[in-house]
Structure 1
Amino acid sequence: MPWSTAPWMVVGPDGAAVRPIEVYLSDFAARRTQPSSVRSYAYDLLRWWRWLVVVEVAWDRATSAEARAFVLWLKAAAKPRNHPRTVSTATAGAVNPITRKSYLDDRYRARTIRHSNAVIRSFYEFWIDTGEGPLLNPMPIDPGRGWRRPPAGGVGERAEAAGTIRYNPGLPKRAPRAMPDQRWDEVFGALRSNRDRAIVAAGVSSGARPSELLGMAGVDLDWGDQLIRVVRKGTRAEQWLPASMETFVWLRLYVAELGMFTPQDPLWQTVRRRDRGGGLQRQPLNYEALRGVFRRLNAVLGTNWTLHDVRHTAAIRMSRDPRLSMRDVQTILGHAHLSTTAEVYLVEDEVQVIRRVADHLAARSRQPQGPPTVSTPYDVEDLAVLFGGTVS
């Protein structure tokens, strides 16, 4: 079978690539897929492969019994860590009193398990289609009504009618992670550089994903119309998005600090200089470095905000503006399906609901209360007929 090398591989104990996974990932990488998606699939299949080694079952002999046991293990197991927790030990799994968000713990979340199940099923579907794999998929589907979207890497492809994977855990309904205006002012005030202020302002005004912002170059700025151009995750389509005037003010200050800067240079660069073997040079800002900005910010504020909270804040603000339709919000956010935008962001803010109900109860308590009206339990004429005579 012809195949090409994928950007990520799963290696066995002998140091050689695991052939079935290698062929699958090579095919997967050829389908309009980002390296980050290949990496995610590789880790899911590595976890499944290790499980098969432990239970001593060949990959093409696995059944739904192994898949069921694997999911049960994921629900009970703790994720391996490269380094033990230190400061975060006290907060793992707890709820932050300011943001009201839970800190991550070492358990596999329901979404992680569902993604793992989808990857395993896709892997076996590939080998069943080639005629070289097992006859049955060990990750079964329960027939039923509904729509199944393509797995990660297939964004934009048409969803197909299907059931659900039998061992998928239910997803808890969670509210969008938007920052209230007061908290947003605190976050923005804690940023330490014009670069950080510019990229965060761009994110909260355009709704672009952090990874999309990090891929920008100088040529992706339209200073006259105040637009920024990003490459959409999944579809890889270019899209111009409006950004706020404040964003371009901070951008102007940041670009002035860079000095030598051409339109083809990466827009976001590290302020510090690092030795890359050819002298001291500026380097493009990567995702981990941007996460570091929020780690420092959270340490100062005692919060646990994330990069994606900025995007959620932008989406919530847009969805509650009567001048914008949900189609407008969908287009700006780059969602492939309108249902995704509506389900996630067309919800009431719990804090606002509580405040309105509290105002309602306070208004009720301020209303003058007259003496209660006591009604006669029996009709007078009825009593006269029953007892005779006149009832006064």
Structure 2
Amino acid sequence: MGLFGEVERDIDAIRLPQWGRVIETTTVVPFEVVGPEGQAVEAIHGYLRDFTARGRRPGSVRSYAYDLLRWWRWLGVIEVEWDKATSAEVRDFVLWLQRVPKERRVPRTTSAALVGTINPITRKQYPDDQYKVRTVRHSNAVLRSFYEYWIERGLGPLVNPVPLDRAAGRRPNSHHNPLEKFRHEGRLRYNPPIPKRRPRAIPDQRWDELFAALQSDRDRAMVSLAISNAIRAGELLGIRGADVDWGDQLVRVRRKGSGAEQWLPASAEALVWLRLYVDHIGNVGASEPLWWTLRRRRPAGAALERQPLNYDALRAVFRRVNASLGTNWSMHDLRHTCALRMLRDQNLSLRDIQTVLGHLHLSTTQTYLEEEPEEVIRRVHQHLTDRQRADSRPPVPAQGYKVTDLAVLFGEDSR
């Protein structure tokens, strides 16, 4: 028991049980959280139904369902009802997420030795088993939204257990000094700060190696398209047959988050590989997915069937390439590479790049303005080489003196 009778939990000793699961449904709510008996959790169902009615995409509903399932498992371990939770339970939950490794359904095999290490070629860190900062922040946002919904309906706790980090009753920036920048007030109290990461491009030589390691026209078409217009993985997989404008060299995507449709330019090389791929699999219907793969369905030994390419299959493409090259490139590296290549083109403005990347705010695009360390090192090395060459050249005699006379007077090697 802690100060003032508050329960002090042994965070490191807590392990969440495999209680419940998230299932996909054919009802108005695309994903549900169900308990061990297969019944939907009523409080979560009510919230997700309202969340879906607000026009949220199925992927977002699925993400929120998994966060709420983890919260329900936590409440079960600490034996607290969902409508009796306080900020102390949320605080301990955040501490648990920051310290305890994720439980994996399948143990690591070949990747066990690489966890958390730095790849010597890409200089990127391999994923570890800790919950990332963005995962914690997303979980907090989901919980606050969940409790806000039930508090508005007159149910749940009287106070939202996910508090804001500001004094009670204060307006954000109520005493703002006009000579200073606005401070970010109203953030969630237990949100850890996001570490600043600099976008990095794949060097041209490494890009050539990656492209050469691809094994099919489909894979070459996908990465060529991604490197030409910085398309995201989810947007790439959502392309349909009618979303390709061959004449104007455009592809139509549904933007992440908003779902807004946008036409993006595609390079001629990407469309060449795309044509080779389409000729191989046959015509794709206007409403059919553009990307397909062959998979063997259950039972074992069944014939191969053509199925739409999903995110796991796309990751497998990079997993095969990385295994052959000893790298750890990802689909998002292609987006960074495309953005930095466009930034170096003086014919493109920052507003053009923001439009292609689909950034809502220009400040997000400005993160690409920071210089890459490798590029700075290259220019400094060139500077030092140029200085050395300049120092090695003999000085030019003043006007009126001849080089031959000075050589006789001082010798050939004199300077």
Q: Distance in 1 between matches of 2:36 and 2:219?
A: 43
- Contact preservation (8 Å) 1:79, 1:108: yes
CA spacing shift, 1:162–1:365, aligned 2, 3 Å: same
Q: 199-208 or 272-281, which moves further after superposition? A: 272-281
Instruction: Name the CA distance, whole Å, in 2 between partners of 1:78 and 1:110.
Output: 13
Report the counterpart of residue 290 of structure 1 in structure 2: 314
Deviates more, 1:80-89 or 1:52-61: 52-61
Q: Distance in 2 between matches of 1:117 and 1:294?
A: 31
Instruction: Give the C-alpha shift of residue 171 in structure 1.
Output: 1.4
> What is the root-mean-square deviation in Å for CA atoms of aligned residues?
2.2
Compared with structure 1, are the counterparts of its residues 363 and 261 closer, same or farther at alpha carbon in structure 2 (3 Å cutoff)? Answer: closer
Q: Which of 338, 346, 357 matches 2:362?
A: 338
Q: CA deviation at 1:72?
A: 0.8
State the partner residue of 2:263: 240
Q: Where in structure 2 are the equivalents of 1:233-312 lying within 5 Å?
A: 233-270=256-293, 272=294, 274=296, 281-312=305-336
Give the Cα separation in 2 of the matches to 1:316 and 1:274: 40
Relative distance call for 1:42 and 1:348 in structure 2 (3 A) is same
Question: 1:1-392 alignment to 2 at 5 Å?
Answer: 5-143=28-166, 162-270=185-293, 272=294, 274=296, 281-343=305-367, 345-366=368-389, 368=391
Q: Which amino acid aligns with 2:48?
A: L
Amino acid at match of 1:324: L
Normalized against structure 1, the TM-score is what?
Answer: 0.84
CA distance in 1, matches of 2:28, 2:241: 33
The question of whether the paired residues in 2 share the 8 Å contact of 1:117 and 1:165 is answered with yes
TM-superposed deviation, 1:175: 1.3
Measured in 2, the distance between the counterparts of 1:47 and 1:23 equals 17
Question: Paired residue for 2:180?
Answer: none
Unmatched 5+ stretches in structure 1:
147-160, 370-392
Q: In 1, distance between residues paired with 2:159 and 2:284?
A: 57
Deviation, structure 1 residue 86: 0.5
CA distance in structure 1 between the aligned counterparts of 2:250 and 2:221, rounded to whole angstroms: 13
The answer to which of 245-254 and 14-23 deviates more is: 14-23
Q: Deviations over 1:44-71 (max 9, x none)?
A: 1111111111111111111111111111
Query: How many residues end up aligned between the 2 structures?
Result: 350
Q: Give the Cα–Cα distance (whole angstroms) in 2 for the partners of residues 348 and 30 of structure 1.
A: 43
Contact 2:234 2:311 in 1 (8 A): yes
Letter in 2 for 1:187: L
CA, structure 1 residues 145+178, in 2 after alignment: closer, same or farther (shift >3 Å)? farther
| SS class of match (2:31) | coil
Preserved contact between residue 116 and residue 125 of structure 2 (Cα < 8 Å):
yes
Residue 158 of structure 2 aligns to a residue whose secondary structure is: coil
What's the CA shift for 1:83?
0.6
Using the TM superposition, give the Cα deviation of residue 14 of structure 1 relative to its aligned residue in structure 2, in angstroms: 4.1
In 2, the alpha carbon distance for the partners of 1:165 and 1:297 equals: 40
- The CA distance in 2 between the partners of 1:60 and 1:258, in whole Å, is 54
Classify 1:185/1:59 alpha carbon distance in 2 versus 1 (closer, same or farther; 3 Å): same
> Does the CA-based 8 Å contact 2:200-2:372 persist in structure 1?
no
Name the SS for the 2:340 alignment partner: helix
Contact 1:274/1:283, CA 8 A, preserved across alignment: no
Equivalents in 2 of 1:97, 1:117: separation in Å?
35
Deviation of 1:261 (Å):
3.7
Q: In structure 1, how many angstroms separate the alpha carbons of the residues matched to 2:118 and 2:106?
A: 23
Shift of 1:363: 3.8
Letter in 2 for 1:288: D
Displacement of 1:320 in angstroms is: 2.4
Q: 1:339 to 1:127 in 2, by over 3 A?
A: same
- Segments of structure 2 that go 5 or more residues without pairing to the other structure are 1-26, 174-183, 393-415
> Which secondary structure state, in structure 1, belongs to the residue aligned with residue 32 of structure 2?
coil
Deviation, 1:137, is 1.0
Q: 1:42 to 1:263 in 2, by over 3 A?
A: closer
Mean alpha-carbon deviation: is it higher for 43-52 or for 104-113?
Answer: 43-52
C-alpha spacing 1:357/1:122, structure 2 compared with 1 (3 Å) = same
Identity rate, percent: 62
Flag the 1:242–1:175 CA change in 2: closer, same or farther, 3 A.
Answer: same
Give 1:357 deviation, angstroms.
2.1
